[in-house]
Amino acid sequence: MKTQNLCTKPGRANTVYLYSTTILLLFFLLLSYISIENAASILSRALKEQFAFSYFENERIKEALAQTFGLKKGTEGQPLYMPPETLAEYTEGIVYKDIPYGSDKAQKLDILVPLSIRKGEKLPVFVFVHGGSWIGGSKNEALYSHFAREVLRAGYIFVSLDYRVYPKVRFSGILADIRKALLWLYDHIEAYGGQKTFVLCGHSAGAHLVALSTVQEGILPEKVYRATKLVFLLSGPYDLSAYDQTLDIPFQKLIRQIFFDLFEGKKNLEEFSPVSKVTKTHLTFVLVVGTRDEITPREQSEKLFQELTEKGNRVDLYILPEIGHGGTLFVLNPQFDLGGIFAPEFFRLLKSARLQYDSSE
């Protein structure tokens, strides 16, 4: 099957960085005519209004996590971070922090190993890719790590990774980091008690990255792709051309230009859209989205589900009532999923996959 290499070509990195930075600089210089403070206020207010349910849901989630883990909530709209010692105690795991998989300071990952692991035992590996609109996010956020306990309890090693973001690199560079991190894990995870068997999971922009990497061959290294069995995709944008139409916000023209630059030109939106790249695979896909998600509407997940189904893939779609964008992460932990809306199913799916891995050894 013919595949395309989507990684950044050698020698382009500096050009990409300078070009992207120039666009952002021009953007902010233009905004300075009405003052940076006013522009930021206008944009912030518009985003709150357009994505109100998910925005305030995220604030409620932060408050619940802060109370549970004794963390300082901090400023509204800012992320809440999970200290490694808190994470280790809560998950009953050993935390290996900020392991480099590349030379850039953003190319780091965390590995959590359950304390219950037996000498000589090798566990399958659950890899999480965070979101952040391809321009931010961090593996250290509490929202991205509070469910690690469930992964460890199900008999997995938990890995959360960071990657370079725009404008330091454009999309091909981001995708190259996902490849690089997974290849590093394949080559080194046995030293941490892991086996070369992966479950991949992403949220939001992370779900888009994981989806594009798994719905077709040729993106991930072959040995990594074959070692992957199960894929969780949470609240992701999978059709970028349609997603572009949701950018109905102030300064739309400039923001869309930045969006197009991130994806290396408007013509590449389809090239980088998972819905247009679906093939028949050996994987099992689990798509999860909330009915109140205004940021990546359920239609995005429904369209990917349809494409995966039509190509003969094993796939399930879970549409969670009264859940917004960040809520699909919150309900992975039964301590917070009080209505039992998805946490029991998440744990069941992990345990079921673990049994299949054990029987295939």
State the pLDDT at residue 6: 35
Residue 24 pLDDT exceeds 80? no
pTM of the model: 0.88
* Average pLDDT for 197-226: 97
Of 18-22, 160-164, 229-233, minimum mean pLDDT range: 18-22
**How many other C-beta atoms lie within 10 A of the C-beta of residue 341?**
18
Q: 5: pLDDT confidence band, cut at 50, 70 and 90?
A: very low
Q: Give the whole-number percent of the chain exceeding pLDDT 70.
A: 84
pLDDT digits (tens, 9 = 90+) for 239-263: 999 876 666 666 677 778 888 999 9
CA angle 159, 191, 211 (to 5 degrees): 30
* Average pLDDT for 28-41: 53
Judge: domain 51-238+273-360, CATH 3.30.70.380: no
State the pLDDT at residue 360: 62
**Minimal CA–CA distance to 354: which of 122, 192, 130, 167?**
122
Residue 182 pLDDT exceeds 50? yes
State the pLDDT at residue 3: 32
Of 30-34, 48-52, 345-349, minimum mean pLDDT range: 30-34
Q: 9: pLDDT confidence band, cut at 50, 70 and 90?
A: very low
State the pLDDT at residue 76: 86
Tokens for 206? 């992370």
pLDDT digits (tens, 9 = 90+) for 192-207: 999 999 999 999 999 9
Q: Measured in Å, how far apart are the chain's first and last C-alpha atoms? A: 29
Q: Are 121 and 62 in contact (CB under 8 A)?
A: no
Tokens for 274? 């998972």
CA dist., res. 335 & res. 241, Å (int): 37
Q: 49: pLDDT confidence band, cut at 50, 70 and 90?
A: confident
Sheet containing 123-129: order of strands? 93-100, 108-114, 157-161, 123-129, 194-203, 228-234, 284-290, 314-320
Residues of the chain with CATH 3.40.50.1820: 51-238+273-360
State the pLDDT at residue 4: 33
State the pLDDT at residue 12: 45
Element (H, E) at 67: helix 52-69
* Average pLDDT for 89-95: 97
State the pLDDT at residue 243: 77
Tokens for 347? 């744990």
Higher pLDDT, 4 or 357: 357
Question: Can you give the C-alpha Rg of the chain in angstroms?
Answer: 20
